[in-house]
Amino acid sequence: MSPQKTFLLIIVFIVCLITCGLWLDCGLGSCNSVHSFIQATGIAHNDVFRPRVKPVLYDPSVGDTGVVCPVGKGTGPVSHLTDAIQPSPPSNVRWATVENLTSAKYSDNKICNAKKVYFLHDQLELLIQARDGRRRLKQYGGDYFRAKIFTKNSTFSASSATDGEVIDLGDGTYRALFTLKWPGKVNVKVTLVHPSEAVDAIRRFRDAAPARFVYRGKFVSADGTHKEETFCNIVLSGNPPDLCNFTDKATGSPWFCYKPKSPKLKCSDWREHRCDSGAANRSDASLLSSHDKLTLIPKSDLPTRIQVEVRGTIRNSSEQKSASDNATTEVINLPICTNGCNIGNLLTSGYYFRDIWYNPSCRILNFPLDEMRNCVSGKKLYFLGDSTIRQLFEFYLVRLGPGLKKTQSGPEPRWHVGPTRALDQVFNISMMFRFHAYPIGRNSWATVKDIHYIANEVDSIVGDENSVVVISLWSHFTHEPEWFFVQRMRTIMAAVARLRERSPSTLVVFKGANTREHNTANQRLYNSDWLARRMEYIIRREIAENLAFMDSWSMSSAQLIADNVHPGGSHVKNLSNQLLTFMCGRPT
């Protein structure tokens, strides 16, 4: 054998060793599988974001009998998402009883710039002090607080979240800033979503294993005589011959199922998918101690009710207007919302006034039924993602009916991943909804052949000036590691870039995450608002600045009704107004 051939064989042998090693280490869910996969894909593990919060000086002469406001200038409103990342609590925190946890009952808050009266557009500065169940001041951060201002009486209602986020100062104190946007008596409400100890437990649980939730695949032989269910996930432990590799060839998104034990079934017999939340909940004990479970307490409001009086005039102006005029005058002068003026990484919150949502950076138009129908006439609308965007699809089915009807070829199952299509032949309206691909966290069986990755679906859209693509995915990814969601978002953005290249006139709109209910400890563990908010950060960071963005988080956080993964009230109608403004708004 020639030296050249010998050298070539050595190179091939080394490449095979590396490839097999990565396969064994990455595809099978071993201790190093996530690390190897991340190295192979170039995605950073650890936390995707790092806090960028400047230290604040405090007056050391003041004791610990109450909330202490920062000395000198405040840190100012949050204007960019990286300013609002909350530091995680220290990993070496030790606590003994539930009385050591942050307590909403004993935590307090104080207005730092207290005045007898405020004017419209003044800023209200709030400092929150975390205390435990024994009324002792907390010495470290990591608590997840939400704060908002609101007015609700027989005349009108209005509400807004903070101008950015509740900023964690790292020492048990937190800062919130509000811009007063309507006159009258305005209340402040602070909610403890998670104590810092729960955030620590949720974070450790998230990082403990990438395949911590339970999904099942059903395999059915061609003649239907043999059926078997196996476990599936983004990584699995085992030997390569024992696994079915369903990693998507186009996007590279990993998905594996254990091979059926029956010799009559093959990997190609994979037919259906579902999650098994019952099995997932039963397996929690192996990853989360009973001690940690004590931290998973319900959301609770701080008891202190702060109220301020806001005059219906702007400072240095004597002109008095009605509440309605004052709340809407400034908005009327804003540019109409388009791709360019509604950048998704800005966190400044809008506000509700009489159930209408106002964006702080651009003007959202209101669309009565006739204008709504005229706007969507001749349009092809693609709704891609989870059930929080399906809400908008279903809103149009009802609102634009009865002419707009579903066009399934057969009866629709109890739960359908799509494609669900609707058509109005009179007004030439075409709509389609399709669920995102794995992970899909529903206990009902879904047909595998109907499940498509969003990136692949976007690649199949030809696009034109009448095409609108609306994307939202987050709620089914709170079970998964952040690197996995980052990868998914980047494959989607790459597909969107290809779509925009071949069809620059196609409108692409992203919808962010929203707050949700935490009725059970398992919901707080798997579907925590803290986890969802981090999905939101990733969405805002990854989308291009020239894409339209619907800030569902600020809307749901500010609303005056209970949190729900499918927000009620006027939430969906206001989402519709935003979408239609992007579609049909014209600068005046």
Show pLDDT as tens, one digit a residue, over the chain (588 residues). 555 555 555 554 444 444 444 333 333 232 233 333 333 333 333 333 322 222 222 222 333 334 555 443 333 444 444 444 455 666 666 788 999 999 999 999 999 999 888 998 899 999 999 999 999 999 999 999 999 999 998 888 999 999 888 999 999 999 999 999 899 999 999 999 999 999 999 988 888 877 778 999 999 999 999 999 999 999 888 888 899 999 999 999 999 999 999 999 999 999 999 999 888 877 776 678 888 999 999 999 999 789 999 988 877 665 655 555 555 666 777 888 887 665 544 556 789 998 999 988 888 999 999 999 999 999 999 999 999 999 999 999 999 988 898 886 555 555 678 889 999 999 999 999 999 999 998 888 999 999 999 999 999 999 999 999 999 999 999 989 889 999 999 999 999 999 999 999 999 999 999 999 999 998 999 999 999 999 998 998 888 777 889 989 999 999 999 999 999 999 999 999 999 999 998 644
**DSSP-H helix ranges across 365-406:** 369-376, 387-399
> Which CA distances in Å does 309 have to 117, 118, 312, 319, 570?
5, 6, 10, 17, 27
Contacts of 487 (CB under 8 A, 6+ apart): 41, 43, 252, 253
What's the pTM value of the predicted model, to 2 decimals? 0.84
**DSSP-H helix ranges across 186-336:** 196-208, 277-282, 290-293, 323-332
pLDDT at 118: 94
Q: Are 34 and 481 in contact (CB under 8 A)?
A: yes
Contacts of 290 (CB under 8 A, 6+ apart): none
Residue with tokens 């400890």: 521
Three-class SS of residue 477?
helix
pLDDT at 323: 53
How many whole angstroms separate alpha carbon 117 and alpha carbon 568? 34
pLDDT at 164: 82
CA atoms within 13 A on the CB side of 337: 28
Reading phi first (left if > 0) and then psi (alpha if -120 to 50, else beta), residue 587 is in beta
Q: Are 486 and 400 in contact (CB under 8 A)?
A: no
Kindly state the tokens that stand for 461: 């859209």
Q: Computed over its alpha carbons, how large is the radius of gyration of the chain?
A: 26
Tell me, what amino acid is at 586? R
Reading phi first (left if > 0) and then psi (alpha if -120 to 50, else beta), residue 536 is in alpha
Tell me, what amino acid is at 528? S
Residue with tokens 């939430």: 571
How many whole angstroms separate alpha carbon 217 and alpha carbon 230? 5
